Amino acid sequence: MRIRVHVTPRRGVLDPQGQAVAHGLSNLGFSGLGEVRVGKVVDLELTSESDPEAALATARKMASQLLANEVVEDFSVEVLG
Amino acid sequence: MRIRVHVTPRRGVLDPQGQAVAHGLSNLGFSGLGEVRVGKVVDLELTSESDPEAALATARKMASQLLANEVVEDFSVEVLG
């Protein structure tokens, strides 16, 4: 079962990478750009889980233990199929 | 209009960050882990676009010009709302 974990900076936390991307895009001539936030996406293949709920629970545990720093980052999990 | 861009390493391209995450997870006691791929997610607020198709087209242009290196990375775009 493939699971996707999104890790994004929490609202209110400074995101220098997002600011750099916004700056780069405006230098390239893109206008009308509001907030840009950059996060990580982790695609996991969980070979031992066939139940979607169990797989999501495992992925949440992985995210809170390793993938995300919950002081400054939020995460969400979804089943890819 | 909020657009989400996923940038992931192309299939077949070595992903050392994914390998490090897989190793870290197995050190934490998680088993049954197949391939792990780590990519980026960029959330963009496009204030000047109200048409979803136009916003997606702009985001695709941004991705191919700045956000993704298409030699080694794939990207996909979706409307967040």
Half-sphere exposure of residue B51, counting CA atoms within 13 Å on the CB side? 4
Tokens coding B57: 């087209």
Q: Give the HSE-up count for residue A41: Cα atoms under 13 Å, Cβ half-sphere.
A: 23
pLDDT over threshold 80, residue B81: no
Token digits of residue A58: 């495992």
Architecture of domain B2-79: 2-Layer Sandwich (3.30)
Domain edges within chain A: 2-79
How much is the ipTM here?
Answer: 0.91
pLDDT in tens, A31-80: 999 999 999 999 999 998 889 999 999 999 999 999 999 999 999 999 99
Q: List residues of chain A with CB under 8 Å from any CB of chain B.
A: 6, 8, 18, 21, 24-25, 28, 30-49, 58, 61-62, 65-67
For residue A49, the model assigns a pLDDT of 86
Length of chain B: 81
- Interatomic CA distance for residues B40 and A8, integer angstroms: 10
Q: Which residues of B touch A (CB under 8 A)?
A: 6, 8, 18, 21, 24-25, 28, 30-49, 58, 61-62, 65-67
pLDDT digits (tens, 9 = 90+) for A4-19: 999 999 999 999 999 9
Q: Which residues of A touch B3 (CB under 8 A)?
A: none
